[in-house]
Amino acid sequence: MSDSVVGRIRPPDALGEAEVEALVHGICFKTGPPERLGVEVEWLVHQLDAPQMPVSPERLSAAYTALRALPLTSSLTVEPGGQLELSSLPATSLMECIRTVSTDLDSVRAVLRDAGLCLVGLGHDPWHTPRRFLRQPRYDAMEAHFERLGPAGRYMMCSTASVQVCVDAGCEEPGPLGHVRRWWLAHHLGAVLLASFANSPMADNRPTGWRSTRQLRWMQIGAGRAGGAPLDTHPRTSWARHVLDAPVMCVRRDSGPWDVPDDLTLRDWTRHLMPRPPLPGDLDYHMTTLFPPVRPRGHLELRMIDAQPGDDGWIVPLAVTAALFDDREATDIAYRAVEPLAARTLGRPAPHNPLYEVAAREGLTDPGLREAAVTCFTAALDALPRLGATTAVMDAVSGFVERYVLRGRCPADDMLVMEGTTGYGRPSKENGS
């Protein structure tokens, strides 16, 4: 490519398309035998004595100031709407990951309890109108970007919470633990995990008609921002193209509001160098503004699981996902179990395909998803002793299987029963993607 673009001189450190592709190839799929595991647990924060009443920003600020003084092993961050997230360090075993995060969560809960607050495991706030807590240039720009698309972005930023499981990308060589196969498995098994752990059937104090309203929000903000890459080419090639063709959310500035371009892809930016030339740091930042259900960050980040009820509900999706990705026998079983589901995507990237849509709306009432879930969860239970899981962890997974999976149910169904409605046969103001 020429060193000038439409009369502008290309700075030597400005990114071109080739440089973007090379960088993405190098940083997004770091291959090797699966050895590490991580989890990011997000929580809504409600009042202990009045969960349906919003928490004031002043009260949240005071509690979060106290939390920052804790000597945690995990990274503690605050999300735009005041949700809390704990991100574990990469662990070398399932139980190491569970123990570290559990210890940190105990400390966090104690501080919040003293402030009259609590962590709530729901994928979408069922009662409160989205309200932004953080006022930072990134989130100002994000909100401005999403406002062009409708209200879903506000809900996504301020009203949702998840359990994100991080697994190694896999080996360079083909086979059950190869990164190509794990990439494919993550997307198709992801629909099963979405359906099994759906836990967000309400918004604005009424059923939405979706078992995972959180996933609905992601679908509503569009394929460019929250969609995955096609699975018809090599993962590195496909993801690099997706990164280049994704819309740029914002262009950072050292001072003042950030630019929020309209209809500018990263590929366009590298070609036209406007509003300023893109630099390597801009690529890193751009990739943090992409929210596909499976995000490659050197490892694979599975982002389709709703936050789970109970203090320890997050342990079940972590344990099941770890078993199905890192135990060879369980991986083979899971791969065969989800193969029949692949045709239901119609070749479209997740989550904007029929498989993910039915998983988010119907959960395990869908016969194909239920059958795959029974097979996968059974394989995970068989694999957990080989991963060193304790009896308590295996009992938690077994209890989930008996309560939900074998009955074609998910946690969202419990919430609707408590609300006194099935919720799914009635008209809803929520629209699909």
Query: Quick check: 431 pLDDT over 80?
Result: no
Rounded to the nearest integer, the mean pLDDT of the chain is 93
pLDDT value of position 69: 96
H/E segment holding residue 295: strand 294-296
Omega before 275 within 30 of 0, i.e. cis: yes
Q: Which pLDDT band holds residue 109 (cuts at 50, 70, 90)?
A: very high
- SS3 state of residue 372: helix
Mean pLDDT computed over 287-316 = 97
pLDDT tens per residue across span 380-413: 999 999 999 999 999 999 999 999 999 999 999 9
Block residue for tokens 């194909």: 368
pLDDT value of position 256: 85
pLDDT value of position 417: 87
Q: Which pLDDT band holds residue 1 (cuts at 50, 70, 90)?
A: very low
Q: Which pLDDT band holds residue 12 (cuts at 50, 70, 90)?
A: confident
CA 380 to chain centre: 21
Q: Please count the residues of the chain.
A: 433
Mean pLDDT computed over 132-150 = 92
Using a pLDDT cut of 70, give the percent of the chain over it. Answer: 95
pTM value?
Answer: 0.94
Concatenated DSSP letters of 71-112: --SSEEEE-TTS-EEEEPPPBSSHHHHHHHHHHHHHHHHHHH
CA dihedral 89→94→98→101, nearest 10 degrees, is 10
pLDDT tens per residue across span 158-212: 999 999 999 999 999 888 889 999 999 999 999 999 999 999 999 999 999 999 9
pLDDT value of position 5: 54
pLDDT value of position 432: 43
pLDDT value of position 420: 62
Q: Which pLDDT band holds residue 2 (cuts at 50, 70, 90)?
A: very low
pLDDT tens per residue across span 269-284: 999 999 999 999 999 9
pLDDT value of position 11: 87
Q: How does strand 202-203 pair with strand 117-120?
A: unpaired
Mean pLDDT computed over 147-154 = 92
CA dihedral 348→352→355→358, nearest 10 degrees, is -160
Block residue for tokens 């697994």: 167
Query: Quick check: 369 pLDDT over 70?
Result: yes
Q: How does strand 162-168 pair with strand 37-47?
A: antiparallel
The CA distance from 81 to 153, in Å, is: 12
Q: Which pLDDT band holds residue 7 (cuts at 50, 70, 90)?
A: low
Note every long-range contact of 53-56, with CB atoms under 8 Å and residues 24 or more positions apart, other chains counting: 54/128, 54/129, 54/131, 55/82, 55/117
pLDDT tens per residue across span 287-299: 999 999 999 999 9
The CA distance from 45 to 206, in Å, is: 20
Residue 121 exposed, middle or buried by CB count within 10 Å (0-12, 13-18, 19+): buried
Identify the DSSP state of 351: T
The CA distance from 181 to 81, in Å, is: 36
Mean pLDDT computed over 214-224 = 96
pLDDT tens per residue across span 318-339: 999 999 999 999 999 999 999 9
Query: Quick check: 427 pLDDT over 60?
Result: no
pLDDT value of position 433: 39
Beta carbons of 269 and 278 less than 8 angstroms apart: yes
pLDDT value of position 8: 67
Paired tokens of 213: 């309203």
Mean pLDDT computed over 120-132 = 96
Backbone angles phi, psi at 168, to 5 degrees: -65, 150
Backbone angles phi, psi at 252, to 5 degrees: -70, 150
Mean pLDDT computed over 56-81 = 97
